Chains A and B, each alone.
Chain A
């Protein structure tokens, strides 16, 4: 039983990292129906910026983290301005490819810094160890992940359901021209979405950095883990991102816990989420909370 609980708890913790990453992903999709394949790169940029500030400039990790959040938000904002804005009105495949190209560009740029290869780790900024509840242990960086996720969930949940600007963002996703006719600045909405996505990406970068150190390919890989989470939750649902992320985290852990011994070589956690993804797509094409495409003829 403790075995199961331990799997569950750490599944939730890992899941909330996915959830955090998924949040940023969903933000962009929600506003502009764009799937951002560069999300993993933003995560990396956030993490490395914090590292550079903390180590090269000797800032406290907290302050460095804060600045990194803002810088990455700015980066999100700028990429929208420079790369995505000209793509308005182009087919989806082109927009997807722009984000793929963007991922490659950011990768290249990171390689021109000392962070291209190698492993780095933040100076200690959280207390050693963690808390243990009835034999189940959770470390402080993991708690930080859960905290960040909860914070952003509440923030964005409120924003999209209650604030006028949030509703306007959803309106833009639905029908840009109509939104413009009502005075919504589509450009501002997109830029805002990308900035917010940058912010959450940096938050996930910080958390991942704190938990398992910084390595370019490991950080960017999280950008892929986001997909099962958002498909399960529904591409355009904030709550879905969080629930989807956590479910995927838990399922992964349960797979690793209960399936691995039966599969030669194990490693089922790497594939299990994607199998789940396909199943979800088949049985619930719009995920748990995603809005169904309204198609009337």
Chain B
């Protein structure tokens, strides 16, 4: 039996620096699954589509995927996923986006969308908790990407800051600029101590470099897509001290998923840059979730379709080896890996400075739990 899978994301266009390795991850894991016969009796036909960060393309791809009767769809952007929500709800095909926007799994129309890991909101709140512990009452600025992706955690972050007794002095949206002097000096003038980023690596690196050049006493932290090897490479030693929250293991750690990633990357001729990319890991995990769900569905219901895969996801508890915790879903739990760690850049590498944990504060401010 052949099962079609499709990923649609930005290999080109905005955010392609994350999208390209992500796509590679999806592709390679799929291949691996076929080679190792991961689901007995099932071959996967994995289609990887570049939607150029354009929602019309995403939608077209998604609809084609439905015609191909994919049991589960791998998505990408925040905008694209938010747009698809009503349709996903209508057709009942599970979707795993790369975007960790909490809005994807908030009502309405949220039944079939599953985040692979903790949300941006949770990551940012975890960082705020960390900051509050380090310097109580700290003044914080939030710098975010000018898109739905960037704005995702703002509301939750404000509420969390209130709870934590720290002050969010400013929220700034910023894409790629050549210079951040104005913003940074103003932060400094207003007594900001920490800058928390929800962005992609490029702008963050530039901000870190400017911050260092200006000799400002600012500490920086950021959510999943801000960090990783890209940041280290672009910012150089300006990255030192950067705090990073993510649910993934890093390429230089000894985790089962990472070992697999290295092996596959080398086997399929990926460049070292890709192999080290956390988004490569990310893509592998997304593909992994899909394939694992298909495996469970096949094993349990004997047939693979959107409905059975959805049922499979509902009871999934898969230790992927890529994330710092198991991927678990349930009726009230649409985040896969519920744990995350805070890491810090030092001498050109990220070192974990916390154990994996889940943020109770996040649950409190977001779900009022």
Contacts and interface: CB of A to CB of B under 8 A. Distances in A.
Contacts of A269: 177, 182
Nearest to B150: A265
Contacts of B151: 265
A137 B214 contact: yes
A183 interface: no
19 contacts: A3-B186, A6-B214, A7-B185, A116-B12, A117-B17, A118-B273, A121-B233, A121-B236, A137-B215, A208-B178, A213-B202, A213-B206, A215-B176, A217-B176, A253-B179, A266-B174, A267-B146, A267-B173, A269-B182
Given A221-B176, A260-B170, 15 more contacts: A3-B186, A14-B179, A17-B178, A118-B16, A130-B213, A137-B213, A212-B205, A213-B202, A213-B234, A256-B183, A257-B186, A265-B146, A265-B171, A265-B172, A266-B171
Interface string A253-273: 110110011001111011000
Given A129-B213, A137-B214, A260-B182, A117 B234 contact: no
B189 A117 contact: no
Contacts of A74: none
Interface string B208-227: 01000111000000000000
Contacts of B40: none
A208 B174 CA distance: 18
Interface in A155-210: 208
A257 B185 contact: yes
B178 A118 contact: no
A218 interface: yes
Contacts of B12: 107, 111, 116-117
**What 3 A-B pairs are tightest by C-beta distance, nearest first?**
A117-B20, A256-B182, A10-B181
Interface string B1-42: 000000000011110110111000000000000000000000
Size class of B's contact patch?
35 or more
Given A14-B178, A213-B202, A269-B182, A116 B214 contact: no
Contact of B16 (A17, A120, A121, A217): A217
A70 interface: no
Nearest to A111: B12
B175 interface: yes
A139 B11 contact: no
A261 B205 contact: no
Given A118-B17, A267-B174, A260 B183 contact: yes
Interface string A99-123: 0000000010001001011111100
A267 B172 contact: yes
B163 to A, nearest CB: 22
B47 to A, nearest CB: 19
Interface in A2-54: 3, 6-7, 10-11, 13-14, 17
B213 A266 contact: no
A111 B176 CA distance: 20
Interface string A125-149: 0000110000001010000000000
Contacts of A107: 12
Contacts of B292: none
A222 B181 CA distance: 18
Contacts of A267: 146, 172-175
A215 B12 CA distance: 11
Given A130-B213, A267-B146, A117 B178 contact: no
Size class of A's contact patch?
35 or more
B179 A121 contact: no
B189 A215 contact: no
Contacts of A11: 182
A90 to B, nearest CB: 29
Nearest to A267: B173
Nearest to B233: A121
A13 B179 contact: yes
Contacts of A281: none
Contacts of B14: 217
Interface in B181-201: 181-183, 185-186, 189, 201
The A contact surface, by secondary structure, is: helix
B172 A114 contact: no
B338 interface: no
A211 interface: yes
Contacts of A264: 171
A6 B171 contact: no
Contacts of B206: 211-213
A89 to B, nearest CB: 34
B172 A266 contact: yes
A269 B178 CA distance: 11
A104 B127 CA distance: 40
Nearest to B178: A14
A3 B190 CA distance: 12
With most chain A CB atoms within 10 A of its CB, the pick from B146, B151, B182 is: B182
B178 A212 contact: yes
Given A119-B201, A267-B146, A261 B186 contact: yes
Contact of B181 (A6, A116, A118, A213): A6
B233 A119 contact: yes
A213 B203 CA distance: 10
A266 B173 contact: yes
B182 A253 contact: yes
With most chain A CB atoms within 10 A of its CB, the pick from B17, B178, B230, B234 is: B178
B368 interface: no
Nearest to A217: B14
B271 interface: yes
B155 to A, nearest CB: 13
Nearest to A225: B178
Contact of B202 (A111, A119, A129): A119
Nearest to B20: A117
Given A114-B271, A137-B215, A213-B206, A119 B16 contact: no
Nearest to B175: A270
A12 to B, nearest CB: 10
